[in-house]
């Protein structure tokens, strides 16, 4: 069963509270998402393996720990997942980036795929799938399904806000994928929006409504 990690760090909670407010404009929304993604990746990457490496400081030789294991790939789900990329690449600059284009049909709430371009060696990487909103879980489940169909095996899901319905969907469809969220909200409304949520993440990020 997937584990769910909820980040209750005061800085993350404060920044997310500003993002939720309807008065918060596109510029500030974008900056805050970037900052929260950067803070979250610190915890998302906590269990990455390290290995001892011999180095020489200006004083003497010594053994230090450096990252080992699989290199990282980050996979934003278009559009809103793009808003989390810079924050993460600030801390993991060597990460390669793949894109999965999906939108949720407003009538059926089913995900529709329109783009997929992954790093050539995606199957060799530890993949962080990014999307601020986990609502019904249909989009994230489909994106993870695409990655698995292309042979990827090490996948983590990183969301800003999740609804219990979305978490249940991922746990059912992809029990091997752990979920990292800044907040667990109450539930979905009749239109599939997260309550209390923050509205439409893509529109708020890109100023399209």
Question: From the CB of residue 6, how many other CB atoms can be counted at a distance below 10 Å?
Answer: 12
Contact 124, 98 (CB under 8 A): no
Q: Looking at beta carbons, which residue is closest to ligand PRP?
A: 202
Inter-residue long-range contacts of 110-114, CB under 8 Å, 24+ positions, other chains counted: 110/138, 111/138, 111/139, 111/141, 111/142, 111/143, 113/142, 113/146
Q: Which does 137 bind (CB under 5 to 8 A by kind): ligand PRP, ligand URA, none?
A: ligand PRP
Contact code string over 76-115 relative to ligand PRP, x by CB under 6 A: -xxxx----------------------xx----x-x----
Contact code string over 142-181 relative to ligand URA, x by CB under 6 A: ----------------------------------------
Q: Residue holding tokens 């890109």?
A: 206
Stretch of 15-23, 81-89, 171-179, 189-197 lying at the interface with ligand URA (CB under 6 A): 189-197
Q: Is 203 among the catalytic positions?
A: yes
Contact code string over 114-133 relative to ligand PRP, x by CB under 6 A: -----------------xxx
Q: Out of 133, 142, 155, 177, point to the residue binding ligand URA (CB under 6 A).
A: 133
Quick check: 86 binds ligand URA (CB under 6 A)?
Answer: no
Quick check: 204 binds ligand PRP (CB under 6 A)?
Answer: no
Quick check: 136 binds ligand PRP (CB under 6 A)?
Answer: yes
Which string of b and e fits 161-176 if b means at least 16 CB within 10 Å?
bbbbbbbebbbebbee
Residues 6 or more apart from 165 whose CB is under 8 A from it? 135, 136, 137, 187, 188
Question: From the CB of residue 178, how many other CB atoms can be counted at a distance below 10 Å?
Answer: 19
Identify which of residues 12 and 84 has a Cβ nearer to ligand PRP in the complex: 84
Quick check: 77 binds ligand URA (CB under 6 A)?
Answer: no
Q: Assign residue 197 a region: left if phi > 0, alpha if psi is -120 to 50, beta otherwise?
A: left
Instruction: Determine the Cα–Cα distance for residues 70 and 76; give it in Å rounded to an integer.
Output: 19
Which positions are catalytic?
104, 108, 200, 203
Site of interaction with ligand URA (CB under 6 A) = 133, 135, 192-194, 197, 200-202
């Amino acid at each position: 069963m997937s584990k769910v990690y909820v980040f209750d760090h005061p800085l993350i909670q404060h920044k997310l509270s500003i993002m939720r407010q309807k008065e918060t404009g596109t510029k500030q929304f974008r900056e805050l998402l970037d900052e929260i993604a950067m803070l979250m990746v610190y915890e998302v990457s906590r269990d990455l393996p390290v290995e001892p490496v011999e180095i020489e400081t200006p004083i003497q030789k010594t053994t230090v720990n450096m990252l080992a294991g699989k290199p990282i790939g980050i996979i934003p789900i278009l559009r809103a997942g793009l808003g989390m990329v810079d924050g993460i690449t600030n801390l993991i600059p060597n990460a390669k980036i793949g894109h999965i284009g999906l939108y949720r049909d407003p009538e059926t709430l089913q995900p529709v795929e329109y783009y997929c371009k992954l790093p050539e060696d995606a199957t060799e990487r530890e993949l962080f799938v990014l999307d601020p909103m986990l609502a019904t879980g249909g989009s994230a489940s489909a994106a993870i399904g695409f990655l698995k169909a292309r042979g990827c095996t090490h996948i983590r899901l990183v969301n800003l806000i999740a609804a219990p319905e979305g978490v249940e969907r991922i746990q059912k469809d992809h029990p091997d994928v752990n979920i990292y969220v800044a907040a667990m909200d109450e539930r979905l409304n009749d239109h599939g929006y997260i309550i209390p949520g923050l509205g439409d993440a893509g529109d708020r990020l890109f100023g399209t409504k």
